[in-house]
Structures are given as structure tokens and as C-alpha cells.
Amino acid sequence: SVVLASCGLAFRRHEGIKVASWYGPTFNGKRTASGEVYDMYAMTVAHKTFSFGTKLKLTNVENGRSVVVIVNDRGPFIRGRDIDLSKAAAMKLGIISSGTGRVYMKILGRDMRYAKYIKSGKVASRGSYQRADVYTIQVAAFGEKDSAKYMLNGLKLNHRKAYMTEKWIDGKRFYRVRVGKFRSESSAQAYARKLAGEGYSVRVSPYEM
């Protein structure tokens, strides 16, 4: 069953009239910032800061059409836009042809299945290039640089210390998306809990020079 957590008064200040756009075929089938595969026919939305799993009711202020969507991605990355809808949601609201539209956004709560836990264990074994006393948080690793950059851009909307590193493992190149440089494992774990709560799969790792 779906566990919906109610949103407090602090979140209510984010409600109101927003500018919505949509994204479709170019991203269909690719991974979103939450790790889910983007399905342009599902009722989803990208938001810059809301935790993954946040449920929103959107109403087109021009025609009165409404839709309920769930946040599973980061964006939009264009100034002046507040949310990026799936193609299906944009169709229901009637903003496909115009590309953008003004909607009233109401926060319904959050599907807590999107909340994650910190993965146990460290990433990789310590070597001469790793600092035993400095830690970072690994969010994801990709074989494709474009996928890593997409997640990195989404993370940076809310976590400015996100960065990407490149590493060869067993003859394959991986692009790792990480956050922060922490002087203690406990401080890294504390920040990792925040990321996990937002819906990111994370693991604390020794920082590599």
C-alpha cells in the first residue's frame, strides 16, 4: 500500500501559481534523477527541490483542467520555469502545443516509498590515493557521461557541492556522481541521511585525491 505523509505548513508557502513546461521523447526511457526510468506516458513531474515522491495537484488556470502528478526528477533548467511535466500530464492539462502554461500547484503529500536508506559499506577499498580521514557521499555511477551529467545538474539545484569523478574499473570507465568533502564519517553520514530522505540512493565513501 502507498504511505502518504502529509506536508507541514512550511511546504504550503510553495503552493500557488507556477509556470509549467514539459519534456518528452528525447528523455523517454532514460533514467531520472530519482533513479526511475522516465516514462513520458506516466503522471510525473520534475521539480528543482521537492523530495522525490511528493504528490502535486496541478490545475491549468486558463482551462480549469487538473492532474495529480508525482515528483521523480529534477528540473526544469530554464530560467522562468518552475516545473517540468511528463508528456501525458501536459496533454491532460492542455499545454502540449503552447509548450508552457500557468498552473495552480497544491501539495497533497508524499509517497514515502520514495524515501531511501543509506547503503551499508564503503565504495571501493582504500588505496594510496584515498584519504582515510576524509569522506564523501556517492549517489550514483554511470557508464555514460551524459547520464552522469544529467544527475549532477539535478543535484546541484539543491546541493551545490555535488561533483563528478571518472574512474576505470576492470577496463571500464565509470562516471561517479558524488556530494561533498567531509572531515568525519559522522558528518558524512548525517548529510547522507538528508539525501536519502529526499529519495537518493547513497553510500558514504573515502574521499579520493
> Count of domains in the chain?
2
Q: Give the domain-ending residue among 81, 114, 147.
A: 114
Domain identity same for 42 and 106: yes
Provide the pLDDT for residue 117.
75
Cell of 137: 557521499
Q: Is residue 125 part of a domain?
A: no
Average pLDDT over residues 169-179: 93
Confidence category of residue 86, pLDDT binned at 50, 70, 90: very high
Residue ranges making up the domain that contains 203: 130-208
pLDDT in tens, 180-205: 999 999 999 999 999 999 999 999 99
pLDDT over threshold 50, residue 125: no
pLDDT in tens, 36-84: 999 999 999 999 999 999 999 999 999 999 999 999 999 999 999 999 9
CATH number, domain at 9?
2.40.40.10
- Between CA 74 and CA 34 the distance in angstroms is 8
Q: Is residue 119 part of a domain?
A: no
Average pLDDT over residues 162-182: 94
Q: Is residue 121 part of a domain?
A: no
Provide the pLDDT for residue 133.
86
Pair type for strands 130-142 and 172-182: antiparallel
Domain identity same for 63 and 139: no
- Between CA 6 and CA 107 the distance in angstroms is 9
Q: Give the domain-ending residue among 47, 80, 114.
A: 114
Q: Is residue 159 part of a domain?
A: yes
Q: End-to-end CA distance of the chain, in Å? A: 45
